[in-house]
């Protein structure tokens, strides 16, 4: 039985990507605890039983009154089930079909929504504004957020250095907002969106520190959803991303839509006059170095003060680089020492150009980002995908892809399904080696659909979303449910080897195994109750849906296991064994 649970958890160690890093420590901790409990149960427990129970016997030991009541009730229910096996099987099949019919109505997500106790808010102004103007917009957002009593504090970073790993212009700011405990975060964020939407010149999106970074690692954007348009021409990409933005904005659940990357900004263009360069005996590389030195600056030395080294960069002042006429008068010195005007060898003009050119796998892309309000991530993405397909006709050579957590969730679900199938085959092999019977192996494995019934019901009663945490809960549940089946079937086999008939072995074995099965389910269920009740607490977002699925499945699998497995064993188990007691075999 312990080996079955080990086999169930082995797939977690082969999960790649984000889900593997999140779930492997959980699986390792569970297996260590399981192996430790097995060692204790075969060493410490027998020794303690010998010391503490040596003075008791079956005549003096008496079960608690609650257990006696349960045994008496179970004995009546078991007798009724054995008299009406068809009714028991039809009821179980009906419940399973109802659970399977609910699955299409369950939302899907990669990770459950987090409650981190703080927010990460992105504020993006039109490209090209100055740092001072961007600072004013950021202060307006901070002041608006601080009017909410649930906000403890705010901090802001505007822009990033040019050589930063995640470079940002001065038009972009990130705010970290610390919230008070025990608040309705969803309602608060909705109210905040309404307030900050009144601030002109700012595109604002809401996230959380960990969720924000997970989104960035998965799709390269800082939002739940990234719609990427691939193609060669920037003007066409700009038009297509605008159409994508218009198509997904009305979709229910889509918020914080942003297409700021495709905004045009004023640019200074210096176009080299190559015939003039050749005539004046000057090459393009030489002119490029001179222009770069004038605009970007050139390092001319260092200043060391109190052990701190500061570079000295020389460049033309800003006032000489503001007007086209003045720019053409800038001096250019050739290698031979000849002094020229920039206008003699280049044409200077101002024009509009893209604020950013983004590439992915060497291809140019335009990106529209958005957040998804609510928990059904996949359902909202499918609605957005359909809206884009209806609204946009792509030219030849252009394509649209959707990226984000939903994409990672779909890949993770496929990986878990494949690994779970391999684990199921291994479980079947282990059970067959133990029971030497395909029929009895299948009877034990019938606990899997019985557990699925309660797991699906628990999801529907809760947030109605199937996430990676729910998948792991189902995997855990399958191991525990199968263990209960092993307890029953092994006891039936032991009693039949003692000479009891199949029917007698099932009746007696079921009553004897009632206490272990109920106690196993009860102790596991009681341990899960705090996780389920603390679902809204920060740090419990993954454990709560997992605990809810296990708890719901434990209820249905335990109740149906104690009724359906005896019925199936009487009908199909024990075939090929002599049901006549040994005392009568010689007669």
The confidence score (pLDDT) of residue 372 equals: 82
Digit-coded pLDDT (tens) for 336-365: 778 888 888 888 888 877 777 788 888 888
CA distance 281 to 265: 35
- CATH of residue 474: 1.20.1640.10
Q: What percent of the chain has pLDDT over 90?
A: 2
Q: What's the mean pLDDT when you consider all of the chain?
A: 82
Instruction: Quickly state the pLDDT bin for 586 (edges 50, 70, 90).
Output: very low
The pLDDT tens digits for 380-405 are 888 888 899 888 888 888 998 887 77
Answer yes or no: is 249 within a domain. Answer: no
For residue 76, is it within any domain?
Answer: yes
306 and 194 in a common domain: no
Q: What is the pLDDT of residue 69?
A: 86
Q: Is residue 72 part of a domain?
A: yes
Question: Would you put residue 274 in left (φ > 0), alpha (ψ -120 to 50) or beta?
Answer: alpha
Residues 39 and 83 in one domain: no
For every residue of 274-291, DSSP letters joined together read: HHHHHHTT--HHHHHHHH
Look at the chain and report how many structural domains it folds into: 4
Establish if 51 belongs to a structural domain: no
Short-list 538, 572, 532, 530, CA closest to 552? 532
Which of 207, 225, 250 is the last residue before a domain boundary? 207
Do 96 and 18 lie in a common domain? no
Distances (CA, A) of 175 to 130, 194, 295, 438: 19, 17, 32, 61
Kind plus residue range of the DSSP H or E element containing 360: strand 358-360
Based on the fold, state whether residues 329 and 450 are members of the same structural domain.
no
Per-residue model confidence (pLDDT) at position 164: 62
Q: Is 474 in the same domain as 575?
A: yes
Give the position of tokens 């075999």.
585
pTM metric for this prediction: 0.69
- The model's pLDDT over 122-156, given as tens digits with 9 standing for 90+, comes to 888 877 788 888 888 889 999 999 999 988 889 98
Q: Residue 528: how many CB atoms within 10 A of its CB?
A: 21
In this prediction, what percent of the chain has a pLDDT beyond 70? Answer: 91
Residue 405 lies in a domain: no
- Residue 548 confidence (pLDDT) above 80: yes
**β-sheet bridge partners, residue 350:** 268
**Residue 578 pLDDT:** 44
Residue 171 lies in a domain: yes
Reduced 3-state DSSP string for 514-567: HHHHHHHHHHHHHHHHHHHHCCCCCCCCCHHHHHHHHHHHHHHHHHHHHHHHHH
Regarding whether 177 and 91 lie in a shared domain, the answer is no
Q: Is the residue at 378 inside a domain?
A: no
DSSP-based three-state secondary structure for 333: strand
Instruction: Say if residue 474 is in the same domain as residue 567.
Output: yes
Per the CB < 8 A criterion, the answer to whether 207 and 123 are in contact is: no
Residue 579, pLDDT score: 43
Q: How confident is the model at residue 479 (pLDDT cuts 50, 70, 90)?
A: confident
Residues 533 and 441 reside in one and the same domain:
yes
Quick: pLDDT tens for 493-522. Answer: 888 888 888 888 888 988 888 888 888 888
- CATH code of 134's domain: 3.30.70.1430
Residue 518 lies in a domain: yes
Same domain, 29 and 74: no
Please check the confidence at residue 261 and state whether its pLDDT lies above 60: no
Give the span between the Cα atoms of 155 and 140, in whole angstroms: 13
214: confidence class by pLDDT, cuts 50, 70, 90: confident
pLDDT exceeds cutoff 70 at 580: no
Q: Are 524 and 457 contained in the same domain?
A: yes
Q: What is the CATH number for 284?
A: 3.30.2090.10
Q: How far apart are CA 409 and CA 406, in angstroms?
A: 5
User: What local confidence, expressed as pLDDT, does residue 157 receive?
Assistant: 87
Looking at 207, 233, 249, the residue that finishes a domain is: 207
Asked if residue 157 and residue 39 are part of one domain, the reply reads no
Q: What are phi and psi of 568, to 5 degrees?
A: -65, -35
- pLDDT digit string, tens, across residues 39-98: 998 999 999 988 887 766 655 556 777 888 888 888 888 899 888 888 988 988 998 899
Q: Are residues 147 and 203 in the same domain?
A: yes
CA 530, 532, 536, 538 dihedral sign is: positive
Q: Which domain holds residue 327?
A: 266-354
| 3 state DSSP class of 1 | coil
Q: Closest Cα partner for 219 from 369, 377, 384, 376?
A: 369
Strand, coil or helix: 348: strand
Q: What integer pLDDT is reported at residue 587 of this predicted model?
A: 37
């Amino acid at each position: 039985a312990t080996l079955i649970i080990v086999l169930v958890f082995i797939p977690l160690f082969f999960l790649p990507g984000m889900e593997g890093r999140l779930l492997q420590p959980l699986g390792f901790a569970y297996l260590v605890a399981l192996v430790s409990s097995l060692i204790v149960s075969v060493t410490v427990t027998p020794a303690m039983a010998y010391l503490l129970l040596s003075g008791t016997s079956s005549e003096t030991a008496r079960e608690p009154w609650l257990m006696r009541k349960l045994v008496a009730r179970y004995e009546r229910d078991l007798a009724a089930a054995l008299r009406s096996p068809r009714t028991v099987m039809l009821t179980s099949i009906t419940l399973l079909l109802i659970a399977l019919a609910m699955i299409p109505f369950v939302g899907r997500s990669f990770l459950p929504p987090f409650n981190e106790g703080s927010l990460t808010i992105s504020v993006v102004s039109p490209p090209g504004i100055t740092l001072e103007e961007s600072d004013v917009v950021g202060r307006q957002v901070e002041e608006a957020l601080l009017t909410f009593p649930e906000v403890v504090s705010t901090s802001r970073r505007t822009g990033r250095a040019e050589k930063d790993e995640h470079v940002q212009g001065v038009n972009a700011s990130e705010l970290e907002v610390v919230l008070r405990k025990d608040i309705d975060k969803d309602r608060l964020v909705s109210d905040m969106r309404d307030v900050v939407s009144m601030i002109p010149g700012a595109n604002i999106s809401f996230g959380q520190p960990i969720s924000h970074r997970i989104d960035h690692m998965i799709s390269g954007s800082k939002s739940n959803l990234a719609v990427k348009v691939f193609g060669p021409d920037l003007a066409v990409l700009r038009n297509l991303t605008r159409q994508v933005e218009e198509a997904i904005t009305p979709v229910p659940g889509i918020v914080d839509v942003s297409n700021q990357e495709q905004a045009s900004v004023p640019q200074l263009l210096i176009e080299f006059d190559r015939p003039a360069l050749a005539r004046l005996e000057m090459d393009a590389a030489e002119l490029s170095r001179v222009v770069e030195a004038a605009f970007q600056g050139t390092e001319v030395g260092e200043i060391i003060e109190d052990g701190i080294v500061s570079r000295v960069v020389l460049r033309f002042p800003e006032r000489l680089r503001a007007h086209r006429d003045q720019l053409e008068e800038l001096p250019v010195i050739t290698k031979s020492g000849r002094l020229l005007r920039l206008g003699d060898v280049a044409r200077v003009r101002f024009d509009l150009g893209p604020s950013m050119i983004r590439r992915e796998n060497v291809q140019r892309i335009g990106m529209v980002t958005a957040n998804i309000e609510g928990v059904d991530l996949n359902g909202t993405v499918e609605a957005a995908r359909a809206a884009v397909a209806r609204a946009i006709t792509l030219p030849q050579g252009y394509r649209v892809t959707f990226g984000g957590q939903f994409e990672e969730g779909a890949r993770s679900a496929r990986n878990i399904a494949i690994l779970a199938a391999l684990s199921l085959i291994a479980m079947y092999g282990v059970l067959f080696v133990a029971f030497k019977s395909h029929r009895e192996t299948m009877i034990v494995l019938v606990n899997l659909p019985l557990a699925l019934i309660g797991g699906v019901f628990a999801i529907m009663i809760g947030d109605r979303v199937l996430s990676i945490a729910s998948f792991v809960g189902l995997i855990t549940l399958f191991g525990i449910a199968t263990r209960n089946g092993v307890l029953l079937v092994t006891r039936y086999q032991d009693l039949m080897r003692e000479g009891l008939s199949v029917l007698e072995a099932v009746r007696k074995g079921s009553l004897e195994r009632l206490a272990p099965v109920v106690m196993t389910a009860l102790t596991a269920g009681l341990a899960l109750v705090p996780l389920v009740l603390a679902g809204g607490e920060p740090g419990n977002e993954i454990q709560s849906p997992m605990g809810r699925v296990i708890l719901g499945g434990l209820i249905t699998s335990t109740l149906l296991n104690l009724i359906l497995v005896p019925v199936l064993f009487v009908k199909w188990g024990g075939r090929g064994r002599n049901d006549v007691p040994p005392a009568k075999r010689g007669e």
